[in-house]
Amino acid sequence: MTPFEYLRAGDPGEAVAAVAGRPGAAFLGGGTNLVDHMKLGVAGPDLLVDVSRLPLDRVEETAGGLRVGAAVRNSDLAAHPLVRERYPVLARALLSGASGQLRNVATTAGNLLQRTRCPYFQDVTTPCNKRVPGSGCSAIGGYTRYHAILGASEHCVATHPSDMAVAMAALDAVVVVLGPGGERRLPIGELYRLPGDAPQRDTVLEHGDLITAVELPHLPAARRSAYRKVRDRASFSFALVSVAAVLDLDGDAVRDVRLALGGVAHKPWRAARAEEALRGGPATEDAFRRAADAELAGARPLPGNEFKVAMTRGVVVAALRDLAEEGR
Amino acid sequence: MRVGFTVNGREETADDVWEGESLLYVLRERMGLPGSKNACEQGECGSCTVLLDGVPVCSCLVAAGQAEGRRVRTVEGLAEGDRQAPIQEAFVECGAVQCGFCTPGLLVQAHDLIERVPRPSDADIREALAGNLCRCTGYEKILAAVRLAANRRAENP
Amino acid sequence: MTVRRGAVGAPAPRVEGLAKVTGSAAYAYDRPVADPVYACPVQATIARGRVVAIDGGAAAGVEGVLAVVTHREAARLADTADAELAVLQSDAVAFRGQFVGVVLAETPEAARQAAGLVRVEYDEEPHDTELRADRAGLYTPEQVNGGFAPDTDEGDVDAAMEAAAVTVDRIYTTPMLFNNPMEPHTSVAVWGDGGDEGGGGPGEARLTLYDSTQGAHVVRSTLARVFGLPPERVRVISPYVGGGFGSKGMPHAHNVLAGLAAMAVPGRPVKLALTRQQMFSLAGHRTPTIQRVRLGAGADGRLTAVAHEVVEHTSALKEFAEQTAVGARMMYAAPNRRTAHRLAALDVPVPSWMRAPGEAPGFFGLEVAMDELAQACGLDPVELRARNEPEVDPESGRPWSGRHLVRCLREGAARFGWEERAAVPGTRRAGRELVGLGVAASTYPYYRFPGSRAVVGYDGSGRYTVRIGAADIGTGAWTVLTQIAADALECPLGAVRVEIGDSELPPATVAGGSSGTASWGSAIVAACHAFRGAYGTEPPPGAEAGADMPRDPDAERFAMHSFGAQFAEVRVDADTGEIRVPRMLGVFSAGRIVNPRTARSQFIGGMTMGLSMALHERGVLDHRTGHVVNHDFAEYHIATHADVVDVDAVWLEEEDAHAGPLGARGIGEIGIVGAPAAIANAVHNATGVRVRDLPITPDLLLR
């Protein structure tokens, strides 16, 4: 771990200025991802600006929606009565992530910005374009069980590991960012990048940009929503694949649907094609399957993760079917 | 830097602490509290679990500076004077301790659970303890110990 | 000579339980030492070749760094015959992750940072890490672990297979597996007369090691030889050990590295604990196995042929040959039997013992094959095994000291509700889940190793002390030995204190082969009887008597093994393939159970490790680099609380009259044997999918 200075920011503006003014600086939230990476040598900031104690730790009601402060802990967010009532998919997604100890420390912003769990990324002795642009992608031709089937490139096949982000993607969350130039809002779908030829950039954020809040829009249909995560053991593992689903039925027809997939891409994957195929159609297993297939038509599995296509189909169908049954 | 926080009810300070040291390291190597264990240093096993401001965390991932001015409680501080905490007694009674290396972290995590949740179901317990790995016991006796301690706690709130 | 019942047989609580729950039990790294130095290894990033240059300049410049030691600076070891322990003695690299240096610093963070700055240049050679059954260079080892012959051949297996009414001929595989005890391998080493444990005359080097080991005496004798010291000048102290499962059964490279590092800072203790990641290359592992199992039987299921042929790997650096097919030699009767072991010497880390070496992987292949045979014969799998129960050991012809496998199977079947098992696979559902039941047989040999000695002393005020260099690695040995001593002395449990875990104590064999209770226990019984024989019931203060473990006359006359029946229920999600195991049951025959509480923990712990082996564990070796990619707990999965729902273990109430004075056979490892097969067989019953390769993961069961 390279030596670093530690600064506790007093307010968001100070934090932004401190990081923006120093190329080697980084924001520190809960630290469960960044501190780990510093020990592994994956990250080496020379200044940590601790933003975990900024007054960004509230969950507030907005017009039918919620505004979640960036410093709200994952465990608190999952337990919040309004989250559980209005966006159960989000509560379930949070609870399916990590362990109790980690959820107690991890912040909303930190969770969004956590980096891939690709073992080659985390090992400084194996080539990785995300870590060292141009050095190669060790996952391609290697161990790909946790890697992408959608939206990948020849430079990087990593997946985004956050469950919370998948749920937020399904909910059309908006991320509030404070940068050196002021505040702006980003739909979560625009926060994340696909790897393309610059896999070292997970998001569109610039150095010094600080996430201050996430806004969840008014979405009554989200009261019937679910998160389903498929993993190699019953708990405490990253997703093989996952799905966040919101299903709004009008009798037996799909009035509206939101679907986001985890474990399949460099970002939470909003399954827009599947949604389109479902909207206005019947809420049957057949329709669910066809919609999943429509989304997976563009899948490019790797040797070692071909199973993710069938698994994604299976979990999408299961999640929608269960939601539809709930609704009857 | 100098770092100061309350540990098991006592004010402690450590000098010449490097920012990159973890809370776990500070407790073990500087404050003479080796009860919390380092088994993975990645937050993946729970052996380093301590209470930070009353909430269980993996101390291996808490940078020393983040602990400044806060309240820490370790396995060494679970007992009330001479009396073991209900969870400690239950672990011994139920035979939930084998090699013992995962035990301190489990005790802290389980202690927090039964303080927060009056009568946790088996599923609650399993999920709450899912972040604490044990290679020896097969978990059964740990579950029995948590149930026992929870029942006793509920009877003596 | 048997022991009066009293403390033995009671569920006495662990003697060290309070120390462990209060955090006061001092494991190796916890031991307070004066003025410590922290060590961080530098590891090879190639799998084969030579170090041509090491530049420690930048590392040495980090504040707090005291030394950078490579093969150039390291002292010459006196004995390098054991290639695994010839640490920093040459520029050769034999596997990725091997030690090529060590940085010593005032803080572990400085050491770690500096280690990352050491620049190493290699002359890299092509490496070979891939195990395949059809690869070139497979060889027959002279013997396999345990001292067994690598091959056996009785009758004519090929002819019998040709003639058999029903046959099974399949390949089964198990992956690279890692013991992963919770406590990382740790050595705190100090030379000279450091601390309060040292001492030695002028010019007499003395090494003290606070260690985490399954055998303090083995570490002492090995390091004495390696460093060229008389054993009296090496002391190994290891009272508390956070698990081992075989990986701490013999010294590994880190023990030597700690000693070498400590030479660079004489008088100061060097603290070295492997990181979890480092353990994947330096703490041993279980070889992957490729097993061809052939079974030939009559239409009634009676076996005429059993063949178990295994391909596995070893490190090219040092041979370890897992005895995967040895169990098939004694498990079932058949006039035509063949077993074989072939090794590939690869550029991989050195394999070593992992819980139930041989039986654990071997009984996956054998017991799934038996299930396939039952299916092919149209027989119930419990019935199939009952029909093939041998009267005597098929291999040696000796009578069994106690074999009650069929009773275990029948009793287990009754308790488990075996009659609810669907006869046709894939036909039983509960909502969206497919339900299945499976069974497998289990066995583990009874070992009693000579070489232990116990000494009993009396303090004059009612307290006895028993001293023996045994190890409690979570097994409960400390408690069990106390019970055994109390009964042998015919005094209350509370009057006895047992001292273990120190090479200054009388010598003891390693905690391994499930042999501890029998080996150390019988030495203790002999010593206690010697004590009473010498001093009667009114010993004077300071009275002392000792005895070596007596020979076991029955060991040559009987075939001595523990047996068990493993049952599992699985539920498979029809949409995602996820597998959950809501129930497991093991019924065991292991002779007398000395402490029901600790025994149950051991059985269940073993079965849980078997569940983990069945569903979760796999070391992924990337052949392009020669390293295990998933080298941490995030990616190498072991079973968590959430995975283990209801695992039950019961045993037959019995004594083995031939298993020493205690009548007890070993129990520490049998739990893992057969459990993976029971789960695999249950998966087949649930889904109709026959998985022959571990681990069984959801992707294998997707429709």
What pLDDT sits at residue A142? 98
What pLDDT sits at residue B19? 82
Per the domain annotation, does C684 fall within a domain?
A: yes
What pLDDT sits at residue C192? 86
Quote the domain boundaries for residue C457.
17-26+449-549
**Alpha-carbon distance B34 to nearest alpha carbon in chain C (angstroms):** 5
What pLDDT sits at residue A265? 98
CB C321 within 8 A of CB C312: yes
Chain B residues within 8 angstroms (CB to CB) of chain A: 1, 18-20, 22, 41-43, 46, 49, 52, 55-58, 61-63, 65-66, 68, 109, 126-128, 130-132
How far is Cα B128 from Cα C231, in angstroms, rounded to an integer? 48
Find, among A99, A242, A83, the residue nearest to A173 by Cα: A83
* Residue C388 and residue C336 share a domain: yes
CA B132-B133-B137 angle, 5° bins: 115
CB contact (8 A) between residue A142 and residue C629: yes
SS3 of C268-283: CCEEEECCHHHHHHHC
**Alpha-carbon distance A105 to nearest alpha carbon in chain B (angstroms):** 7
Contacts of A139 in chain C (CB under 8 A): none
How far is Cα C591 from Cα C224, in angstroms, rounded to an integer? 38
Assign residue C533 the CATH number of its domain: 3.30.365.10
User: Could you read off the pLDDT of C591-609 as tens digits, one per residue?
Assistant: 999 999 999 999 999 999 9
CATH number of B3-75: 3.10.20.30
Closest-CA residue of chain C to B80: C22
Percentage of chain B surpassing pLDDT 90?
A: 90
Does the pLDDT at position C48 exceed 60? Answer: yes
**Alpha-carbon distance A241 to nearest alpha carbon in chain C (angstroms):** 10
* Residue C93 and residue C192 share a domain: yes
Answering whether pTM is above 0.95, one says yes
Chain A neighbours (≥3 Cβ pairs under 8 A) are: B, C
Q: Pick the residue with more confidence: A149 or B82? A: A149
* Residue C45 and residue C165 share a domain: no
Confidence band (pLDDT; 50, 70, 90) for C198? very low
CA distances in angstroms from A226 to A88, B129, C436, C487, C578, listed in the order given: 7, 23, 28, 60, 18
User: Both tokens of residue C224?
Assistant: 């004495």
Per the domain annotation, does C290 fall within a domain?
A: yes
Q: How far is CA C286 from the centre of its chain?
A: 9
Q: Which of A169-178, B131-140, C194-203 has the lowest mean pLDDT?
A: C194-203
CA dihedral angle for residue B84, residue B90, residue B92, residue B97, rounded to 10 degrees? -120
CB C303 within 8 A of CB C388: yes
Whether C669 is catalytic: yes
* Residue C561 and residue C523 share a domain: no
* Residue C304 and residue C265 share a domain: no
CA B135-B136-B138 angle, 5° bins: 85
Other Cβ atoms closer than 10 A to C18: 17
CA distances in angstroms from C570 to C411, C492, C566, C573, C607, listed in the order given: 20, 46, 13, 10, 14
Preceding omega of C695 cis (within 30 degrees of 0): yes
User: Could you read off the pLDDT of A230-277 as tens digits, one per residue?
Assistant: 999 999 999 999 999 999 999 999 999 999 999 999 999 999 999 999
How far is Cα C279 from Cα C178, in angstroms, rounded to an integer? 9
What pLDDT sits at residue B20? 85
CB contact (8 A) between residue C604 and residue B79: no
What pLDDT sits at residue C4? 57
Confidence band (pLDDT; 50, 70, 90) for C194? very low
* Residue C577 and residue C517 share a domain: no
Per the domain annotation, does C78 fall within a domain?
A: yes
* Residue C255 and residue C321 share a domain: no
Other Cβ atoms closer than 10 A to B151: 15
Per the domain annotation, does C561 fall within a domain?
A: yes
CB contact (8 A) between residue B95 and residue C475: no
How far is Cα C252 from Cα C264, in angstroms, rounded to an integer? 20
- What is the average pLDDT value for chain C, to the nearest integer? 95
**Alpha-carbon distance A37 to nearest alpha carbon in chain B (angstroms):** 9
Please name the residue ranges forming H helices in C303-358. Answer: 328-331
Contacts of B127 in chain A (CB under 8 A): 235
* Residue C610 and residue C655 share a domain: yes
Per the domain annotation, does C9 fall within a domain?
A: no
User: Could you read off the pLDDT of C122-145 as tens digits, one per residue?
Assistant: 999 999 999 999 999 999 999 999
Closest-CA residue of chain A to C45: A125
pLDDT, average across residues C620-636: 97
Q: What's the half-sphere exposure (Cβ side, CA atoms, 13 Å) at A116?
A: 35
Q: How long a stretch of residues is chain C?
A: 703
Confidence band (pLDDT; 50, 70, 90) for C5? low
**Topology of the domain covering A222-327:** Enolase-like; domain 1 (3.30.390)
DSSP output for A209-259? -EEEEEEEPP-GGGGSEEEEEE-SSSSSS--SEEEEEEEEEETTEEEEEEE
* Residue C192 and residue C170 share a domain: no
What pLDDT sits at residue C201? 52
Per the domain annotation, does C139 fall within a domain?
A: no
Chain C residues within 8 angstroms (CB to CB) of chain A: 45, 109, 112-113, 116, 432, 573, 575-578, 580, 615-616, 620, 622, 624-625, 627, 629-631, 634-635, 637, 639-643, 697-699, 702-703
Cβ burial C416-443 (10 Å sphere, 16+ → b, else e): bebeebeeebeebeeeebbbbbbbbbbb
| SS3 state at C633 | coil
Would you report the helix, strand and coil content of chain A in percent, each value rounded to 5? Answer: 30, 25, 45
Domain B86-155 has CATH 1.10.150.120: yes
* Residue C74 and residue C205 share a domain: yes
Closest-CA residue of chain A to B59: A101
Contacts of C703 in chain A (CB under 8 A): 310, 314
CB A233 within 8 A of CB C643: yes
pLDDT, average across residues C169-190: 98
* Residue C253 and residue C349 share a domain: no
Closest-CA residue of chain A to C630: A119
Assign residue C194 the CATH number of its domain: 3.90.1170.50
Domains in chain C: how many in total?
Answer: 3
Query: Looking at residue B132, what DSSP letter applies?
Result: S
C265 by Cβ neighbours in 10 Å (0-12 / 13-18 / 19+) ranks as: buried
Per the domain annotation, does C297 fall within a domain?
A: yes
Confidence band (pLDDT; 50, 70, 90) for C553? confident
CB contact (8 A) between residue B62 and residue A35: yes
Closest-CA residue of chain C to A3: C113
CB C273 within 8 A of CB C111: no
Contacts of B107 in chain C (CB under 8 A): 21
Contacts of A234 in chain B (CB under 8 A): 130
Per the domain annotation, does C11 fall within a domain?
A: no
One-letter identity of residue A211:
I
CB contact (8 A) between residue A235 and residue C697: no
Q: Where are the domains of chain A?
A: 5-49, 222-327
CB contact (8 A) between residue C18 and residue B137: no
User: What are φ and ψ of residue A236, in 5° steps?
Assistant: 55, 50
Find, among A230, A256, A203, A246, the residue nearest to A308 by Cα: A230
Closest-CA residue of chain A to C643: A234
User: Could you read off the pLDDT of C89-110 as tens digits, one per residue?
Assistant: 999 999 999 999 999 999 998 9
pLDDT, average across residues C194-217: 75
User: Could you read off the pLDDT of B66-125 as tens digits, one per residue?
Assistant: 999 999 999 999 998 889 999 999 999 999 999 999 999 999 999 999 999 989 999 999
Does the pLDDT at position C586 exceed 80? Answer: yes
C533 by Cβ neighbours in 10 Å (0-12 / 13-18 / 19+) ranks as: exposed
Does the pLDDT at position C295 exceed 80? Answer: yes
User: Could you read off the pLDDT of A8-18 as tens digits, one per residue?
Assistant: 999 999 999 99
CB contact (8 A) between residue A235 and residue C643: yes
What pLDDT sits at residue C2? 52
What pLDDT sits at residue B80? 87
Domain boundary pick from C233, C261, C282: C282
CA A129-A131-A133 angle, 5° bins: 40
* Residue C534 and residue C597 share a domain: no
Contacts of B25 in chain C (CB under 8 A): 108-109
Residues 6+ apart with CB under 8 A from C648: C583, C584, C585, C586, C604
Q: Where are the domains of chain B?
A: 3-75, 86-155
Helical (H) or strand (E) element with A12: helix A12-20
Q: From edge to edge, which strands make up the β-sheet containing B55-58?
A: B10-14, B3-7, B71-73, B49-52, B55-58
User: Could you read off the pLDDT of C483-520 as tens digits, one per residue?
Assistant: 999 999 999 999 999 999 999 999 999 999 999 999 99
**Alpha-carbon distance B121 to nearest alpha carbon in chain A (angstroms):** 16
**Alpha-carbon distance C272 to nearest alpha carbon in chain A (angstroms):** 17
